[in-house]
Amino acid sequence: MQPYELTATEAAALIAARKLSCEELARSTLARIEERDPVVRAWSYVDRDMVIRKARELDKTPPASPLHGLTFGVKDVIQTVDMPTQQNSALYVDHQSGQDAACVAVVRHSGALIVGKTDTVEFASGGRMAASRNPHNLAHTPGGSSSGSGAAVGDKQVQLAFGTQTGGSHIRPAAFNGIYGIKPTHGAVSREGAKNYSHTLDTIGWYGRCVEDLQLVAREFRLLDAEFAKPVQIKGLKVGLYRSPAWELADAYAREALFEAGRRLEAAGAIVTELTLPAGFDRLDDAQQIVMRGEGRGAFLPDYLGPKRHMLAQHFLDIVGNSTKITPAKLVAAYDLAAECRRTFDGMFGADLDVVLTPSSPGEAPEGLSSSGNPVFNAMWTLLNVPCVGIPVGVSPRALPLGIQLVGPRYSDSQLLEIALACAPAIHVKQDGKLTPLKAEVSAMA
């Protein structure tokens, strides 16, 4: 096994035992990138010499945490002191912010090796699509807007990577690339230094190759519930299987992925029951769009008024110009609905419910690069501000990964990761080291 193939958790143990150097891991990672990036196109910036130089410095430095020397990609809407932050925008070519975003500073101070910037949909919103391709089937998108981060981790070009989510930009690429991802509770991780789109929705998350990888990073962010989280036994775990209001948009593979995950959890001893939510939850997808575009007007106004306005895609002109006719009353109603549903959802957990199991995407990654996929199975959870963990389930006949997400109440991030740790071995079943094929027909849970 080459060093780049190691999970973050495996590499951390070897580095701590001095059986693997940071430079060895870095060189293996760079070789993998050089081999695969010409076709996968996950990266917008990598400086090989700088990566090796910083890896050597890490080898001279006592480890500050288990992240020491682990390879990290950064979505290119998140600032880095030593690399450009271009946001896939003609307005920001070679732009150098001169500082690290808060999330980058945390992992860098913890010893992580920042390898480069990963490609993204423009401003993590719309306009220009990323050049990145799905590493499992190059004819398909890796999802977005965290396109390059999902593809880089999914192709084992890097062990960990930051993404962001305002609608479905983080969890959906996790499903499309067959990897693990966490979208934390909104506000649990500082988003200072990341491009602002919607200040009540934007959330920093990260990808890994297993739940343990996600936990390595989570510990460095000192999440609010970390000291209260407890190990979980899957036997007796109360799982609410939720189809979501967009169920009619789920293809046969998305439906089978959800039901198969439920069956596998039941077989492992979990108590899986269908979950229904009050009628107001059916309106959360529309409310999320209102909040996102309503707050996005202010976020994109500076570029709209600037001297390079002619370089802005019509998508951003429409947002600033309020093409969807959002009124103050509509925005306030969306905020109020979100607040009401947040209280209701949080209150459902306890004696009868430990975690929600729900789709991550409408199904397979779309063919082509003109669309990064529909966020309809993610937007409501983003608006609810709740933590979500994406877990792979299987693949379609076209080798395209399929996944589900586990959802918990606000500020249950560490506990949700413990639940995911217990559930992942049952959900993420492999055959010969690969995700299991799923059948297209939808069957009821047995």
pLDDT tier, 432 (very low <50, low <70, confident <90, very high otherwise): low
What value does the mean pLDDT take over residues 281-301? 98
Residues noted as catalytic: 75, 145, 169
> Would the pLDDT of 443 be above 90?
no
| Average pLDDT of the residues of the chain | 96
> Would the pLDDT of 446 be above 50?
no
Please name the residues in contact with 21: beta carbons below 8 A apart, sequence gap of 6 or more: 15, 55, 59, 69
- Kindly list the strands in the beta sheet with 388-395, ordered across the sheet, starting from the edge strand earlier in the chain: 43-46, 113-118, 71-75, 160-165, 203-208, 180-183, 388-395, 401-407, 355-359, 238-241, 271-274
What value does the mean pLDDT take over residues 361-383? 97
Provide the pLDDT for residue 434.
75
pLDDT tier, 340 (very low <50, low <70, confident <90, very high otherwise): very high
> Would the pLDDT of 430 be above 90?
no
pLDDT tier, 442 (very low <50, low <70, confident <90, very high otherwise): very low
- DSSP class per residue in 56-107: HHHHTS--SSTTTT-EEEEETTB-BTTB---TT-GGGTT---SS--HHHHHH
Give me Rg for the CA atoms of the chain.
21
Could you give the CA distance from residue 223 to residue 11 in angstroms, rounded to a whole number? 23
> Would the pLDDT of 189 be above 90?
yes
Task: Tell me if 369 sits within 8 A of 129, measured CB to CB.
Answer: yes
Domain residue ranges of the chain, discontinuous segments joined by +: 3-280+336-431
What value does the mean pLDDT take over residues 201-213? 98
* H/E segment holding residue 238: strand 238-241
Provide the pLDDT for residue 435.
75
Q: Which fold has domain 3-280+336-431?
A: Amidase signature (AS) enzymes (3.90.1300)
What value does the mean pLDDT take over residues 324-338? 98
> Would the pLDDT of 437 be above 90?
no
Count of C-beta atoms within a 10 Å radius of residue 292: 24
Percentage of residues in the chain having pLDDT higher than 70: 98
pLDDT tier, 444 (very low <50, low <70, confident <90, very high otherwise): very low
pLDDT in tens, 209-227: 999 999 999 999 999 999 9
> Would the pLDDT of 268 be above 80?
yes
> Would the pLDDT of 195 be above 80?
yes
* H/E segment holding residue 215: helix 211-220
pLDDT in tens, 93-119: 999 999 999 999 999 999 999 999 999
> Would the pLDDT of 317 be above 80?
yes
Task: Tell me if 111 sits within 8 A of 137, measured CB to CB.
Answer: no
Token digits for 230? 């407890």
Is pTM beyond 0.95? Reply is yes
Burial readout 332-342 (b: 16 or more C-beta within 10 A, e: otherwise):
eebbebbeebb
Could you give the CA distance from residue 240 to residue 272 in angstroms, rounded to a whole number? 6
Could you give the CA distance from residue 236 to residue 76 in angstroms, rounded to a whole number? 42
